[in-house]
Amino acid sequence: MTHSTLVVEPFANISAQELLRNIHGLFGWVRKEETGIRSVVKALDWPWRYMILSKGCLYLFRHSDDQNFCEAVPLSSFRYSTTSM
């Protein structure tokens, strides 16, 4: 199933818990490469981030109860599809 209805820009200011209350998306912990770290060997040193994928935007938080995200990426220029497992 391909989605074409996406939010153009992420919310300006939203907490992780507020996103989770209204979510119809995915969430969980991921490791995120920090700027300047390019080595695959150092991948285990990448910090953990709490990720929420909601309404066409990817939000990254340092903790699942943070009031503000540290990064938000609009996915409007990306094509993606869902699969069943």
**Ordered domains of the chain (ranges, CATH):** 16-74 (2.30.29.30)
pLDDT tens-place string over residues 14-68: 899 888 887 667 899 988 877 654 555 566 677 899 999 888 889 999 999 999 9
Find the mean pLDDT for residues 4-12.
65
Dihedral class, residue 28 (left if φ above 0, else alpha if ψ from -120 to 50, else beta):
left
Type of residue found at 72? A
The Cα angle at residue 44 between residues 41 and 49, in degrees rounded to 5: 135
Q: Is 32 exposed, middle or buried (0-12, 13-18, 19+ CB in 10 A)?
A: middle
pLDDT given at position 43: 60
Confidence category of residue 6, pLDDT binned at 50, 70, 90: very low
pLDDT given at position 20: 87
Q: Can you give the pTM of this predicted structure? A: 0.69
pLDDT given at position 65: 93
* Secondary structure (3-state) at 82: coil
